[in-house]
Amino acid sequence: MENAAIEVRLRERVRLDVFLTRRLAQVSRSRIQHHIESGAVLVDGRRVRPSHVLCGGETITLPALVGRRLEVSAQALDLTVVHEDDDLIVVDKPAGLVVHPVGGEFERTLLGAVHRRMEARGEDPRELGIVHRLDRATSGLLVLAKRLAARRTLSQAVEARRVHRAYLAVAAGVPPAVRGSIDLHIRRDPVRPTRMQALDRAAVEALRHTLRRAHVSASGYSDPRLDVRPRRARTHYALLRRLPGASLLRLRLETGRTHQIRVHLQGIGLPLLGDPLYGPDAAAALAPALRAAHAALGRPALHAAVLAFAHPRSGDWLRFRAPLPADVRLLLRGLSSPPGVTP
């Protein structure tokens, strides 16, 4: 295929890989970075790094970067749609469903299911894209943009922390106060890179003198598998209900790090029930009811219950709530707690 040219028009400076990710709704940032590194993407005829900063006025030359053909690979799924209009769709994602194609999982995804839904309704799905993500095992509210302009606006709102998200979680143990904040840095575990670590200020200070920039590749961007730098993270919590040996919590993210709620709760000694990565280490020491609940749930007891943001076109404030899913309600009943909790 012939190369395409994009003339850059900007109001503010932005990285090349970020700019292209916003422009190309169906192409992942990692794939865009790969094309930039390989020299397939040029800025004013020159090879640059993915971290190259665009100032406006440049011409980007790139091949036809076509995302995985969702219309061929994606499965149609029954979705719980909370809201839909010409610009966006808000879905209550079930636990176990991956948000977008990753690795060998590309047929049964939320993105693909919405793509199929739009096609069936006679809508053009080519600009459909993810605004934010939830872990596969986490249930709850997620917004997808149906138009590229809406995706840009909503993505900027997420980056500026103008999108409000609140979660419900069932943790082993009870917090020391009814309300509080968790201020622990988070980094990737250097020994087990599929996990994250929570570090206090003393641990962060100790690391400052030992960390090197070996995680930065020759192209100048961080390899997420090797980047073990600690980053600031803050989670706010409120105790909604005391349970026998456990608690129902409402949580709000001030930052959005990988596995933030799960690793933060583990870091203060309140691990999520059912969490295979950060759950109670000494499950055998739990009370029988908690031990059985932790083993039976099969996924972290975490649900994205509230989502609020300004509509990207009208500016109207939208607020959505999703009730606790059946598995978490069953968990609460097993712990002798009333299931009807309003986030």
Distance, in Å, from the CA atom of 61 to the CA atom of 104, rounded to the nearest integer, reads 30
- Report yes or no: 10 and 22 within 8 Å, Cβ to Cβ: no
For 18: left if phi > 0, alpha if psi spans -120 to 50, otherwise beta; the answer is alpha
β-pairing, 164-172 vs 139-145, is unpaired
Residue 300's nearest CA partner among 269, 328, 332, 340 is 328
The single-letter code of the amino acid at 98 is V
Residue 129's nearest CA partner among 65, 74, 85, 67 is 67
- Both tokens of 181, joined, read 């904040």
φ, ψ for residue 175, nearest 5 deg: -65, 160
In the set 86, 87, 135, 189, the catalytic residue is 135
Whether 275 is catalytic is no
Distance, in Å, from the CA atom of 80 to the CA atom of 134, rounded to the nearest integer, reads 15
Q: How many residues does the chain have?
A: 343
Q: Would you please indicate which residues are annotated as catalytic (active-site) residues? A: 135
